[in-house]
Structure 1
Amino acid sequence: MIERQLSMRGWIVLGALLAIAVALAGIGGTWAFATPALSSLPKGPVLAHAIERGKLIVGVRRYPRPAPPEAPTPPEPDAFDATLARQLAASLGVSLELVGLDPAMQEAALREGRVDLLVAGVPVKSAQDIAAAPGSYDIGRGLVVALRRGKVQNESALRGASVCVGEGSGYANAVSQRYGAQPRSYPSSVHAASAFMAGECAALAEDGEVLERLMQNEEWRFYQPLAIDVRLPSDATIRLREGDNTSRDYLAAALRQWRADGTLAKARGARAGNLQFEITLLKDGFICHS
C-alpha cells in the first residue's frame, strides 16, 4: 500500500514537472517568435548591397594611441566602434572594412557612398539626409571628476567651467544641458584625459566604469568625483543614408538584441579596460599625438 502511494506520488510529481516543462516550452516559443534571429530579418538596399559585395564598409572614429614623443603612431580605428562594426558584419555573414574618419569627414563619406554605415558615437548635429537607427550603443552612465583642491568643488561650480570630453561622447551634451558647463572636445577619450591632467580643463567627463578604474590608480589620488550618474541625453547611433527604412530597422533590432544578450555591456567593459591601459601609459612618458 505504501509502495503504491509512493508510486502515485511519483506520477503526480512527474506530471507536474511535465506540465511545467510544457509551460516553459510555450514561453520559450513565444519569446523566440517575439525576437527572431537577426539572420531572418529583411535587409534594405544598404545592407543587401553589402551582402552582395561580401563586405560591410563602416566609418568609425580614429585617433593616434599614446606613444613616445620621438615615435608617434598613425591614427587607428576606435576599438569600441570597431567592436560593434564587427558584430554587424558577423550578423550579415560578410567581412568588414573599417574606415577611420575625422568628424568633419564622416557624413560626407556616407553621402558619397564611401562607407555603408557610420558607427562613430554621437553626431555633432543631425543632417536631413542622414538617418539614425533608434537606440544607442553607448549604454554607460557617466562621471565627472575634478582636482581635489581645484576651483571646481561641487556640481554648481560646473556652470561655465570647461569640461574635457572625447570626440563623439554624449557627455558633451550631458554636462552642457545639466550643469551649464562648457564641453571641450578632443580626438579621443585618451586625449581628453591627457588634456585634463595637463590642466586644460577644470573637469573631465567620461564613462563611470572608466573613471572608477582610473581612480584606483595612485596617480589619480589628486582627483575626486564631482558628479555621478550622469545620464546621456543623446544617443551614440548607427547612421546611414536617409530612405532605407528596412536597413534602419535591422540595425535597431541588432541594438536591441545586443543590449538584451549582454553584447553591449561586454563591449563597454572592454572599452573601459582599453582606455585604462592607454591612459595609464601617459604617466610613463607616453604622449597623445594629435
Structure 2
Amino acid sequence: MKQNFTVRHGALDGVEAFLRVAQHRSFRKAAAELGVTPSAISQIVRHLEERIGAPLFIRTTRSVGLTEAGEQFLARAKPAFEELVAATQAAREYGQRPAGRLRLSVPRAVVPILLEPLIASFCRTCPEVEVEIAASETLVDIAAEGFDAGIRMGQFIDADMVVVPMTKPFRYVVVGSPDYLAGNDRIAHPDDLRQHACLRLRRSSGALATWSFNDAGRAIEIAVSGPFIAHDIPTMLGAAIEGVGLAQVPEPVAASPLKSGRLVQVLAKFATMSPGVFLYYPDQRHVTPKLRAFIDHVKSSSS
C-alpha cells in the first residue's frame, strides 16, 4: 500500500550536520563535535543539498559561507530542529519518570469508598502526575477512549486485560430501610421478593440487571420489579435509604448506612459473592511510568 507521509522518508537526514557546519562555518569543527570525519560531514551535507536541489554552502580552501538558499534554510530549519530536540527530550523524560495526565474510567460507586483516599495519597506521592477520573457506569473501551486504565468489578472486565486486585471478594447484599421493612411482609427467601418493591439497575447495555442469589450452592437469578429504576448504584442506594424499596448492592457500598442503622440487611444467607474490584489495563509490553507508579501504589495500599 502506498504511504503518503507529510514529511518524506529521510527528509531530516543531514539537517543536524548542516546546522553544525553553519554554526561553526567549518566542516572540520562540525565533524569533531559530532564525532565523525570531515569527509563524512561533507558527504552528508552534499546528499542534503541533492535532496533539496540547491547548494547550501559556498566552500573555498580557507572558508565556508552560506548561499542565499542556505541562509533561508538555516532561518527555518534551526528553530524547527531545536523544537524537535526539545520535544524528544520532553517525551524521553515522560518515559522515564511518573508525570503527565493519568486518565481512569471508574464506576461512581467506588469513588467515595475506594478512590478518594487512594487518589489523595497517590497525588501526595507523585505530585507530577495529574489524575483525571471519569466516573460512569458505561463500560468503555479504555484504549479507544484514551484512558490509561479502568476500575471495575471483576465480572465486567474483558479476559484480555491485565488486572490488579483493589479489594478482596465481597458479597452482594439486599438492604432496605427500617421503615420499609416494618411496613411490609417478612422476607425469608428470594422468592418472597416478588411481593416487594425492588429497586432496579439499568446497565449501560440497556438491560435491567437481575438479582443473583446462592441457595445452598445453587445459583438463582430473579427478575425483580418495583417503582424505581436507577442507572448507577449510589442513586439506587439513596432510594433504598429513603424507603422507596429494597436494593441489592455490593456490601462495601452499603457498609456505612448499615452500620448507622439507616439500612438493614435481609436474606443474608442467600448472598452471592463478587470477585472484587480490580484495576485493569491493556496487556502492553511497556507500561508508562505514571501508570506503573499508580499500579505500585494500588498494590502497596491493598496489601
TM-score interval, smaller chain: 0.3 to 0.5
Kindly indicate whether structure 1 or structure 2 has the higher relative contact order, using CA contacts under 8 Å at least 6 residues apart: 1
TM-score when normalising by structure 1: 0.46
The structure whose Rg is larger is 2
